[in-house]
Amino acid sequence: MEKDITKHYSNGEVTIVWKPNVCVHSEVCFHGLPTVFDPHKKPWINAEGAGTQNIVDQVKRCPSGALTYFMNKEVTAAHGTEPEITAESIVEPLPNGPLLVYGNIVVRDANGKETHKNKVTAFCRCGESSNKPYCDGTHTKINFSDKS
């Protein structure tokens, strides 16, 4: 069973919350705000790399929900209680990538075995995943395109 890892990065006003086990490596974060999200650095998130509003706007674009945020003053007002982060039921094809399903779902395989998923599930659209029906990132290696 995977460990449920959650990491926090703060600039004093906003805290970025990253759940690596939820990440589908869409690269939306670092293409949109490379001064904050840089996978070539350790740690890869620099909460001081941009203003709070730019960070909030970019984190909201995370298609998987692996990146979320909360405003520190709201947590202080709630006596240190972080907000619960939930996902709606949404289906979204990522350009040239997987089909993302946000929310609670049940996946039934060909033998009738059911797997309960929550938060976000990335399904393969390229047909080359070694973990079908789930995405394993192979679409990037084979340059999968919606136009092909």
> CATH 3.30.70.20 spans which residues of the chain?
7-77
pLDDT average per 10 residues of sequence, the chain (148 residues): 76 91 83 95 96 94 85 76 60 90 80 80 92 91 88
The domain made up of 7-77 is a member of CATH 3.30.70.20: yes
The overall pTM is greater than 0.75: no
Q: What does the alpha-carbon distance between residue 55 and residue 48 come to, in Å, rounded to a whole number?
A: 9
